[in-house]
Chains A and B, each alone.
Chain A
Amino acid sequence: MNKMFSKPQPALCGPGPHCALNPNGGCAADPLRMAPCPPGSSCLIMDQVSCAYGETRVVDNVSFAVRPGELLCLLGPSGCGKTTTLRMAAGLENPVEGRIILNGQVVGGGGVHVPPEKRSVGFLFQDYALFPHINVLANVAFGILDKTQAERRERAMEMLKQVGMENYAEAWPHQLSGGQMQRVALARALAPKPMLMLLDEPFSGLDKRLRDQIRDETLHVLKSSGVCVLMVTHDPEEAMFMADRIAIMRGGRIVQIGEPEELYRRPAASFVASFFGEVNRIPAKVKGGAVNSPFGAFPAPGFKDGDQVDLVIRPEALSLELGDHGIATVLVSHMLGRSNLIHMRVDSEQGAPIHLHARTTGPLPHIEGARVSIKLDRSQAYVFPAEDQSDPEPMPEEVQAPPPSLGSFC
């Protein structure tokens, strides 16, 4: 969808895609690199920003820049620090370290704290936060200051028209549906012509069907206003739909930042790969600089012999072919709408059988119990350090291999 909008130019300065080369996140932006930055080249720069509540670092040394006209999305599981980062940009939280630069001006950090009302940012809240005591028009006009009454009204009506809510100007917030409230909140946040829009899970309150439509409309409104946007979501699909670039966060740090396709095709960490969808994870040991698997050997550059690694394979990288000499047995297959999910067992000579998922399109093959051979698209298979099993937040989509019980599939 975002292909229909012109892509912004690559960053002239500030921490750019080179962050992606550092898989551990914590993109170490060199402040000196930013110094010659011409003003206005980035509308928001977060420069090694940290935020802590007491002893707990909620945001830990985060750096990124939002370029003019760009929509950057902070993506991550709940509690990864993305909302705190957003609130710091708005001035609703204070960084304990680092600097926040808004349009070439330091607004936060280093003893500076420009309060939110002086920052010229628009904030779209998860619960919309419409003021219940004033009508829709007054809500939208709330932030338009230093203008005459008539001008304020005109500007507010113009914004309502943009979001298709001009017929509801005199309505009260409690009379609106969720989608309508979201539109009014968007109009209200954009009405003062902010330099930066901040969106905090703006679609999570809407039901699925409405969400797609509102998401589309919001993207159009934002893009046509040309404002740069920093958005927070936990939904990878939403991030890919909306964002020009995505910064994926975990544990208060940025793990990888880049264009959606880059994150999907070249994940810098096992976490990134699995966040964009269910993956097959095959634990293995490095031997002779490579990983052995039922699909042959994979080079494992950067690992020592004996290192415990995970071979991560996307389910859509596997294509199946019926044949008695195949290495896998189909356990069960499910039709999921646009795709089918095939559960398979591969008996490996090394030990426990491996449980694999394959995602196929087309009609559902009823091939339970059949032997299949598997062809692998090697560009969608990655070798990462073994994922810590005591991870406090395992991705629900992940397939743990081998599965605890095969019986449930049969």
Chain B
Amino acid sequence: MTETAAASAVRGSKLLTVLKGARPFGAGSGWVASTVFIALLVGAPVAFILAHVFVSSGDVWEHLAQTVLPLYVVNSVLLMLGVGVGVMVGGVGTAWLVTMCRFPGRGILEWALLLPMSMPAYVVAYTYTGLLDFAGPVQSAIREVFGWSSTRNYWFPEIRSLGGAIIVMSLVLYPYVYLLARSAFLEQSICVLEASRTLGRGPWKGFFKVALPLARPSIAAGTALALMETLNDFGTVHYFAVDTFTTGIYRTWLGLGEPTVAAQLGAVLLLFVLALVMIERVSRGVAKFHHTTTRYRHLPGYQLRGWRSLAAQTFSFTGVFLGFVLPASVLAWWSLRHSVVNLDFLPMARNSFLLALVAALAAVAVGVVMAYAQRLSPMPATRAAVRLASLGYAIPGSVIAVGTLVPLGMIDNALASFIFEHFGVTTGLLLTGSIAALVYAYLVRFLAVSFNGIEASLAKVTNSMEAASRTLGQGTFGTLRRVHIPLIRGSLLTAGLLVFVDVMKELPATLIMRPLNFDTLAVRTFTLASDERLMDAAAPALVIVLVGLLPVMMLSYAVARSRPGGKS
């Protein structure tokens, strides 16, 4: 027995523990092929957009570059900066207060701080406009009290502005940072903080010198996610007439009828997204490194009293109040007064539910196939395919819409002329403006949402359970059907619900891609608001918010259970 052989066997055994069960045992190449196929399908719109960078669009691009493009860039950058600061201050501040401090109402705040997540930004934008514009109750009351009659007599901040958009989006997006920062604070060893205190730092200094740097990767990841949503937003900036890339793409597409230029705008937008994805990926990697223990230790907490306690309560409740309680109450009030009698939003609700249901089922089915294929054969090809396919969550809906519609239009035209030539039948456009195309776009955007949950829950099926099923005569498909799916049923439901809600809220892609005269709740809300019929928009908006509450409630429940000192 040579030394090298024995040593290599030892190395082998270590490797084995890493690889054991993850080896392809007769994984049909069908699983790998289908994953690659899905990845290509999901990646196609992005690839198409990127390919358009090099297509000449003549004068239109030049014209845009000279006129509106700088404005898009400046507005998008300012919006991102403003929202970035807003969500960081709101998210980190509230996370620190509820995890490390003790004050009345903390227990409620812990989960209530998540509630604004159920609010689409555009809905909040509509409500605040209704409240704060010239005809709204606030300004009317001011005029009444002071006896003024027009804006010439007084100054009131304009909500429909870049600043207003920043505030509205910060209000609904800070929970992303709150969630990640909170878990980062929970995972920090109390010893580190106590060490900093014994070394002469007060609680404030400890926060800035120790806790904040340790949580930095999580905060960066949460902020990156919030900013992705900011870039994706269409409803708010459109309504507030803040020209950004999403409104630009929409206008170039529908107004100018210039798909190539719209795609090129999308490509520029993707540069921003790419930067955010990099930030998010890198910070997640670092965040994992800091994750030292899964057990939550009891956090001692600084007992706040007097004005400090009041300040903490005010700061934290402001987010919940302005981001959820106030707009939701206003919506409910308007709905009761104006649109309950008018039930014309019911067909749209049906459309929304059906679309969301189909998209959720598709996303779960495809997510299961991908997650299982990745588990069966974790080869570089599968892994790369899965990565590509799960990038969609970062791509703004408007970009996906353009990247889907343009190639679909080409296929449609080719198909139509082919059929006309060979069969003499005029078919029109078969795919463009079809429900199938819309579901496909949803799949591209939200596949990552279902996939991530499914992939994580597949860990419940141990490798030996899988091997047991295989040696007991079940093939890969039989094993998936009889072992994996029953075991991860709960996670499949959750994944489906998340996609369902996201589709309900989705606006830009739906707006661009929906079939003619096919309205969803989100589209209906948007068009009514655009027509300045805010009160009528309240009812469909309220339905979206109520459905959106479901996953937030689940999340809140999970958060409440992961309370410091609670069960690990």
- Tell me if chain B binds chain A: yes
A21 interface residue, CB < 8 Å from B?
Answer: no
* A:124-169 near B, CB below 8 Å: 125-127, 129-134, 142-143, 145
Q: How does the 8 Å CB contact mask read for A102-114 relative to B, with 1 for contact and 0 for none?
A: 0000000000011
B1-37 vs A: 1/0 string, CB under 8 Å?
1010111111111111001010111100000000000
B10 contact set on A, CB distance < 8 A: 79, 392-393
B463, closest chain A residue (CB): A129
Cβ of A121 within 8 Å of any chain B Cβ, yes or no, is yes
Q: How far is the CB of A186 from chain B (nearest CB, A)?
A: 12
**Interface centre among A113, A133, A143, by most B CB within 10 Å?**
A133
Q: B5, A143: Cβ atoms under 8 Å?
A: no
Q: Which of A57, A115, A123 is in CB contact (< 8 Å) with B8?
A: A57
| Residue of B19, B24, B470, B471 with most chain A CB atoms under a 10 A cut-off | B471
Q: Tell me if A267 counts as interface (CB < 8 A to partner B).
A: no
Chain A hits for B487, CB < 8 A? 131-133
Decide if B468 is an interface residue (CB 8 Å cutoff).
yes
Report the Cα distance A80→B1, complex, angstroms.
12
Option from A79, A133, A251 in Cβ contact (under 8 Å) with B16: A79
Q: Quick check: is B482 within 8 A (CB to CB) of the other chain?
A: yes
Interfacial chain B residues near A113, Cβ < 8 Å: 26
- Docked-complex contact A60 and B464, CB < 8 angstroms: no
Determine the residue in chain B with the shortest Cβ distance to A116.
B470
B471 near A122 with CB under 8 A, answer yes
Distance of A58 Cα from B472 Cα, bound (Å)? 26
A15 at the interface (CB under 8 A from B): no
Q: Are B9 and A90 in contact (CB under 8 A)?
A: no
| Centre residue among B1, B8, B482, B487 by max chain A CB count within 10 A | B1
How many chain A residues touch B (CB < 8 A): the figure is 58
**Contact present for A116 and B5 (CB under 8 Å):** no
A53 within 8 A of B: yes
Name the distance in Å between B6's Cβ and chain A's nearest Cβ: 4
Question: Contact check: which of A56, A91, A145 meets B26 at CB < 8 Å?
Answer: A91
Please, which residues of chain A bring their CB within 8 A of the CB of B23?
92-94
Please determine whether A58 and B26 come into contact, CB atoms closer than 8 angstroms: no
Decide if B471 touches A121 in the complex (CB within 8 Å). Answer: yes
B189 sits at the interface (CB 8 A): no
Q: Is B483 an interface residue (CB 8 A)?
A: yes
User: In the bound complex, do residue B16 and residue A53 qualify as a contact, i.e. CB atoms below 8 Å apart?
Assistant: yes
Q: Say whether A252 contacts B25, CB under 8 Å.
A: no
B5 touches A127 (CB 8 A): no
Q: How far, in whole Å, are A93 and B472 apart by their CA atoms in the complex?
A: 16
How many A-B contacts are there with CB distance less than 8 Å?
148
The residue in chain B whose Cβ has the minimal distance to the Cβ of A134 is B486
Q: Is the CB of B472 within 8 A of A253?
A: no
Asked whether B469 is an interface residue with its Cβ less than 8 Å from the other chain, the reply is: yes
Contacts of A116 in B (CB 8 A): 25-26, 467, 470-471
For A388, list chain B residues within 8 Å (CB): 1, 3
Q: Which residue in A60, A81, A129, A255 is a CB contact (below 8 Å) of B462?
A: A129
**C-alpha spacing A113/B27, complex, angstroms:** 11
Q: How far is the CB of A77 from chain B (nearest CB, A)?
A: 9
B436 to chain A, nearest CB (A): 34
Q: Is B473 an interface residue (CB 8 A)?
A: yes
B13 in contact with A251 (CB, 8 Å): no
Known: A117-B473, A127-B462, A252-B5. A92 touches B25 (CB 8 A): yes
* Most chain A CB inside 10 Å of its own CB: which residue of B3, B16, B464, B472: B472
Given known pairs A92-B25, A127-B462, A127-B464, the reply for A115 and B470 (CB within 8 Å) is yes
Interface centre among B12, B13, B487 (most CB of A within 10 A): B12
Say yes or no: is A281 at the interface (Cβ < 8 Å to chain B): no
Say whether B5 contacts A60, CB under 8 Å.
yes
Interface of chain B residues 124 through 161 with chain A (CB within 8 A): none
Q: How far is the CA of A56 from the CA of B483 in the complex (A)?
A: 33
In the assembly, what is the distance between CA of A129 and CA of B277, in Å? Answer: 39
CA distance A271 to B471 in the complex (A): 34
Besides A129-B467, A131-B468, A251-B1, 19 new A-B residue pairs in contact (Cβ under 8 A), listed by A number: A53-B15, A53-B16, A79-B12, A80-B13, A92-B25, A93-B25, A115-B25, A115-B475, A117-B470, A117-B473, A125-B467, A126-B464, A129-B468, A131-B483, A131-B487, A143-B472, A188-B468, A194-B471, A391-B6
Interface residues of A (CB under 8 A from B): 24-25, 53-54, 56-58, 60, 78-81, 83-84, 87, 90-94, 113-117, 119, 121-123, 125-127, 129-134, 142-143, 145, 188-189, 192, 194, 198, 250-253, 255, 269, 271, 388, 390-393
Subset of 17 A-B contacts with CB under 8 Å: A24-B1, A79-B9, A79-B10, A79-B13, A79-B16, A80-B13, A91-B470, A93-B25, A114-B26, A117-B470, A117-B471, A117-B478, A143-B471, A252-B8, A253-B1, A388-B1, A392-B3
